[in-house]
Structure 1
Amino acid sequence: MFRRRPTLPPFPAGGLLVGGAVRDWWRGIPPHDYDWAVPDPAGAARTLAGAVGGAAFPLDAERGYWRVHAPGGVQHDFVPRPGNVTDDLLRRDFTVNALALTPEGRVLDPAGGRADLRARRLRMVSEANLREDPLRAWRGVRFEVTLGFRLEAGTAAAVRGVAADLARGGLPRPAPERIRDELEALLAHGDAARGILRLEELGLLALTLPELREGLGMVQGGFHHLDVFHHGVEALHQLLTRFPDADPALRWATLLHDVGKPRTRGTNPRSGRTTFYGHDRGGAELTREMLTRLRLPSATVDRAVALVRAHMAQLPADEREARRFVHRRRPLLPDLLRLMLADREASRGPDSHPAIRHAYARAFERVLAALEEQPQAPRPLLTGEEVMALLQLSPGPAVGEALRAVAEAQALGEVRTPEEARAFLQARRVGDVPG
């Protein structure tokens, strides 16, 4: 079932390898992160760092935890070796992590983790352990996806119980940063969409992204065959199928691109059809609230918000409009096209048919061709000072409007030199030039 077990680095003096590294080694997967239980964490960390050319530093000086960043992105953590190793292992989250390995190759397995590994089964060591740190509920979903295992029935029921108690305030909620780390690890996997559905099944999504759940059961019709919630999840699946290298901002934006629909739902009085006018803008605001709440990096939040806000952009019908599209949305490309493609491929409603799909594909080709033709924004033809002198303007919005008008005309091929740019501005009033 498992591959040949990889060679491990030399054991530190008196040390045991514990937890997930043993789990991965047993499955034949080279560990990327090593957890060592040793008599002298500081000494062991410094010795390893010196041997491999890494950097050793205290992770928690009070508890004696040390970490080494080794070449190749490998990480080694060192903690004091417990007096009773068995008791320590039985305080862990899942049986597949309650393992230790001795320097002689003997596996310590007090909870039956090796049997669960063979069965690809994720089983809690105890419900008390799960409740002691409720983040382990989210970790269980992450392990289901990243390990390809399945929570056994009793553990799944316990996770649902933890989620219910968290919702009632009966258990303390994990810090947002810890939940964020689990979600980011989940979203980084190619099967992340399944993980989102599993969070919902177990009652954890309501504690994490409640706004996303507002789309459950909200039928859209038209191009859509799924409700709002499941359409977003399917779009994430389509994205990761086609673009497995998508970065976190694009993954978040794809999952959340329609999160604004439930709060903008309306009805067209003439046709009686359901509408979601402004859901792109409303969804961008909700995306910012949700991702900020999870303490994501501001750069990731800003880009995800921008992608959600732009996902309804009208695709160009000809080459000139394609150049305009690229000029106006260059900072978001090609990610915006990837999001729009995933959105389109997640839609299979009654209004979808091959002719529309073909037109959509042709529009994408136009944008990509325009982007290839001009992969970077051209150097500006005029400076702000030159515009002010030419049009006798004081510093203010009108100057920026003029510069944007010239930049767009340059992108469309209407002006190519500073002289043509000056003539372009003089030929019309600045206020009449589209900005």
Structure 2
Amino acid sequence: MNPATALADSPPLRALRQLFSAADQPHLLLVGGSVRDLLLGRSAADTDLLTDLPGERLRQLGFSLVQGKTTAPIWFRYLPPFGAIEISPLPQLDQASVTADLARRDFTINALALDLTGQLIDPLTGRQDLACRLLRPCSANSFSADPLRLFRALRFAAAGWQLHRDCGRAARLHDWQQALQPIAVERFSRELVKALATPHPERFFLLMLQFNLGRHWLPQLWRFDRIPAGPPENHPEGSLLRHAVLVLRRCAGTHSDPLWRFCAFFHDLGKLATPATDLPRHTGHHQAGVSLAHHLVRQLRLPRRWGQALAAISQLHSAFNRWPQLTADARLQLAHQALKADVTALLPAIALADKPDSALPADWPRALQCAQLSLLELGISPDQLAQQAPAARASWIAQQRLHWFTRG
């Protein structure tokens, strides 16, 4: 089958031909990541188009004009099965205008356009780079036009793409600190979260360090490499950075949730608070990590839930790794804290990645079950509770819960 015919028969192009009239179709091009994903055989979350249709026609089709403060205006509509449809207007949809628009994009694999008959427009040989999984900037000005593209490159590297030498050259030969300063941290954090979902999320952090990018957004990362993870007999890997990378790799091998991977990398954040005179030991780092976790998440403008989860993991993971040495009462308290923080699955996942030679405690499920039992399920009647002094009731209930847990 002719390649153009195969693309024309693809579900996205068929759907676009149904959405737009025959008269409108020659004035539209599918572009950017939408074309990249189509060529890779992946479904795209959004649909990006170029057009020279007049605004009035786009309004008739149900699109609304969105004027960004720092971005070019687009026409927007949310419509299943396309998701968000974003249409960028051009004065003319001729070869020169389209080529110029594609050349202003970040990477050649995104500098692709496709008309609705399946004809590919590829002035920068992006399809060849796509086949080689090579990330090559569209021009010498790609990163200076938007320095955040540097982090997009790191994210693609974490997904297994090879960085073209021009990416490394641009990252090394310029000091990007000043150019990155005006960019909102939320844009960096979006790239970070996407990188955490890739097959090799640790590469994002390591490349940040290698190219000295983003220190003002994530200064904690630069301290990780200067602090020992712990005494050499416990942490032969050496630095806190190497330990964090190992734990992240282990977690990423079994769990795909970006939040879980974030907690894996930063689970020992509290060790940054250890006085230099106490190193290599980190007494009390689990408690110090609580405030540092909330601070980090606020600093990166991540969801509040991420701060709650990381704070709980920072505080509890060391105790979980000492489960065999904990008393029954301490095990119940740990289960109660995990339930309260909603990390009952996350906590053992991080702890086992932190201590890979251990196994999930056999009585962890029972501890969770016991910590959630109601008074009725514990066999405590209202009369029995009333017989206890008000100040002693909580302690008495805890004793009944402990008895239930230990009776087997």
Q: Aligned-pair distance for 1:369?
A: 4.0
Q: 1:307 to 1:40 in 2, by over 3 A?
A: farther
In structure 2, the partner of 1:431 is: none
Q: What letter is aligned with 2:282? A: F
1:412 correspondence with 2:402: yes
8 Å contact 1:266–1:276 — kept in the other structure? no
In structure 2, the partner of 1:213 is: 222
8 Å contact 2:30–2:113 — kept in the other structure? yes
1:33 correspondence with 2:46: yes
RMSD: 3.3
Q: Aligned-pair distance for 1:404?
A: 4.3
Q: 1:78 to 1:286 in 2, by over 3 A?
A: same
8 Å contact 1:258–1:283 — kept in the other structure? yes
Paired residue for 2:200, among 178, 191, 194?
A: 191
Paired residue for 1:274, among 248, 271, 280?
A: 280
1:338 correspondence with 2:341: no
In structure 1, the partner of 2:99 is: 86
Q: Aligned-pair distance for 1:243?
A: 2.3
Secondary structure at the residue paired with 1:93?
A: coil
8 Å contact 1:32–1:74 — kept in the other structure? yes
When normalised by structure 1's length, the TM-score is 0.75
1:157 correspondence with 2:157: no
In structure 1, the partner of 2:243 is: 231
CA distance in 2 between counterparts of 1:158 and 1:315 reads 49
Q: Say which is worse superposed, 94-103 or 283-292, in terms of deviation.
A: 283-292
Q: Share of identical aligned residues, percent?
A: 27
1:118 correspondence with 2:131: yes
Q: Aligned-pair distance for 1:284?
A: 2.6
1:239-275 CA-to-partner distances (Å, cap 9, x unmatched) read 121223x3x433222111112324305567xxxx831
In structure 2, the partner of 1:52 is: none
1:178-231 CA-to-partner distances (Å, cap 9, x unmatched) read 111111111122321222222222222524322122121434312212211111
Paired residue for 1:202, among 201, 211, 218?
A: 211
CA distance in 2 between counterparts of 1:157 and 1:254 reads 31
8 Å contact 1:82–1:88 — kept in the other structure? no
1:294 correspondence with 2:294: no
1:377 correspondence with 2:389: no
8 Å contact 1:232–1:254 — kept in the other structure? yes
CA distance in 2 between counterparts of 1:137 and 1:61 reads 22
8 Å contact 2:199–2:252 — kept in the other structure? yes
Secondary structure at the residue paired with 2:154?
A: helix
Q: Say which is worse superposed, 316-325 or 334-343, in terms of deviation.
A: 316-325
Q: 1:41 to 1:130 in 2, by over 3 A?
A: farther
Q: Aligned-pair distance for 1:60?
A: 3.2
1:60 correspondence with 2:67: yes
CA distance in 2 between counterparts of 1:234 and 1:283 reads 19
In structure 2, the partner of 1:308 is: 314
8 Å contact 1:17–1:36 — kept in the other structure? yes
Across the two proteins, how many residue pairs are aligned to each other? 371
CA distance in 2 between counterparts of 1:137 and 1:264 reads 33
Q: Aligned-pair distance for 1:403?
A: 5.6
Q: What letter is aligned with 2:145? A: E
Paired residue for 2:120, among 103, 107, 111?
A: 107
When normalised by structure 2's length, the TM-score is 0.79
Q: Aligned-pair distance for 1:318?
A: 7.4
Q: Aligned-pair distance for 1:134?
A: 0.8
In structure 1, the partner of 2:271 is: 261
Q: Aligned-pair distance for 1:77?
A: 1.5
Q: 1:379 to 1:76 in 2, by over 3 A?
A: same
1:137 correspondence with 2:153: no
Q: Aligned-pair distance for 1:177?
A: 0.8
